[in-house]
Amino acid sequence: MVSRLKIGEGGCRHETWNTLIALIDDIAERFGGLIYDYRAEKSWDPGQAVCAELYGPDWSNAPGFLRASHIADSEPVPDGTIAAAQRLVAGQCKWTEDEPDGE
């Protein structure tokens, strides 16, 4: 999500963006540069993985994402974003694992 926003433009960045950026760094450290999502049969970068966790495998077309992509960096990150990033850092996202047996 961060890559779609103009961080730093138009004033002071809201503190939640700094938290999210730190979590994205932690996600990159845990998983590396790409995270495979068997639901979408695609790999996401860490920022996209947060979007996939929050909005689902078709996150780029989700109404919530489309609204969020227009939020100014002076506003807080959308509800649920920090929690989604924390789940990724903690390894609590089932879709980041190998495809479950029988599916």
pLDDT at res. 3: 45
Would you state the pLDDT for residue 40? Answer: 92
**Every domain of the chain and the residues it spans:** 2-95
Structure tokens at 2: 């961060």
What is the separation, in whole angstroms, between the first and last Cα of the chain?
A: 29
User: Which pLDDT value is given to residue 101?
Assistant: 55
Provide the residue-wise pLDDT of the chain in tens; the chain has 103 residues: 444 445 455 568 999 999 999 999 999 999 888 999 999 999 999 999 999 999 999 999 999 999 999 999 999 999 999 999 999 999 998 887 655 554 4
> Residue for token digits 């807080």?
76
C-alpha 53/C-alpha 49 separation (Å) is 6
- Give me the pLDDT at residue 49, please: 96
CA distance 63 to 72: 17
Structure tokens at 91: 């390894």
Half-sphere exposure of 31 (CA within 13 A, CB side): 30
| pTM for the model | 0.81
